[in-house]
Amino acid sequence: KAGVTQTPRYLIKTRGQQVTLSCSPISGHRSVSWYQQTPGQGLQFLFEYFSETQRNKGNFPGRFSGRQFSNSRSEMNVSTLELGDSALYLCASSASETSGYNEQFFGPGTRLTVL
């Protein structure tokens, strides 16, 4: 089985712009979670989608949003980019059918740099 794929791998944007990141989960996985990784704050949970519905949400401002499509692929969007949004954005998929732990498989991440 192919693993979790994320595109693009690297992205450079300027302040005020918006960006969309994409994640394709492992085939058959219906849950997709997003995490932000920065040197200062470490790994922080953004949100989780299951069957096209947001199931869990972390403590991020409304500039961060996401969605999931019927094929379980997910996108996250960040509007009005700030310098502090520079980070590695990781996507993880799991076969979770209910809220609660199922092993999450991580993609390689998208490295976003905001100038």
Partner 1 sequence: GNSVTQMEGPVTLSEEAFLTINCTYTATGYPSLFWYVQYPGEGLQLLLKATKADDKGSNKGFEATYRKETTSFHLEKGSVQVSDSAVYFCALVTSNTGKLIFGQGTTLQVKP
Residues engaged in binding partner 1 (CB under 8 A): 4, 31, 33, 35, 42-45, 48, 50, 55-56, 58, 90, 92, 94, 96, 99-109
Closest distance to partner 1 from the beta carbon of 55 (Å): 7
| Cα angle value 36/60/35 (rounded, 5°) | 20
Residues linked to residue 57 through DSSP beta bridges, in sequence order: 47
Spatial strand order of the sheet with 64-68 comes to 5-7, 19-24, 74-78, 64-68
The values of phi and psi at residue 112, to 5°, are: -105, 125
- Which residue lies nearer to partner 1 by CB, 18 or 113? 113
**Residue 16 or 35: which CB sits closer to partner 1?**
35
Nearer to partner 1 by Cβ, of 66 and 109: the residue is 109
- CB of residue 94 to partner 1, shortest distance in Å: 8
